[in-house]
């Protein structure tokens, strides 16, 4: 009984994982994702090192940028070309 419940749970989790990844594979957009092996990023505004799973993010020209604080994010949103490398 416990094995069958565990199997059902694993099948359900696998299905959810596949569905969540299917949209990013087949939607045709070219969104740049953060490399999962990369643990530390640099805030483009203040150059502070931050973790890759930062909650303060924004997308500019289909690239996701992470920030150390809401104030850095707002500065970037106001003038993104000032902080984007050319």
What's the whole-model pTM score? 0.53
79 CB burial (10 A radius; 0-12, 13-18, 19+): exposed
SS percent in the chain: helix, strand, coil, step 5? 45, 20, 35
Reduced to 3 states (helix: H, G, I; strand: E, B; else coil), residue 41 is: strand
Q: Cα separation of 44 and 86, whole Å? A: 13
Q: Cα separation of 15 and 10, whole Å? A: 9
Pick from 40, 77, 72: nearest CA to 60: 77
- The domain limits of the chain are 2-83
Residue-wise pLDDT tens digits, 18-33: 776 555 555 555 555 5
Q: Which residue has the higher pLDDT, 63 or 2?
A: 63
């Amino acid at each position: 009984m416990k094995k069958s419940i565990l199997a059902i749970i694993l099948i359900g989790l696998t299905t959810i994982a596949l569905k969540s990844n299917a949209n990013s594979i087949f939607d045709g957009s070219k969104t740049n994702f953060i490399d999962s092996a990369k643990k530390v990023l640099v805030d483009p505004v203040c150059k502070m090192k931050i973790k890759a799973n930062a909650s303060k993010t924004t997308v500019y020209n289909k690239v996701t940028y992470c920030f150390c604080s809401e104030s850095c994010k707002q500065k970037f949103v106001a003038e993104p070309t000032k902080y984007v490398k050319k």
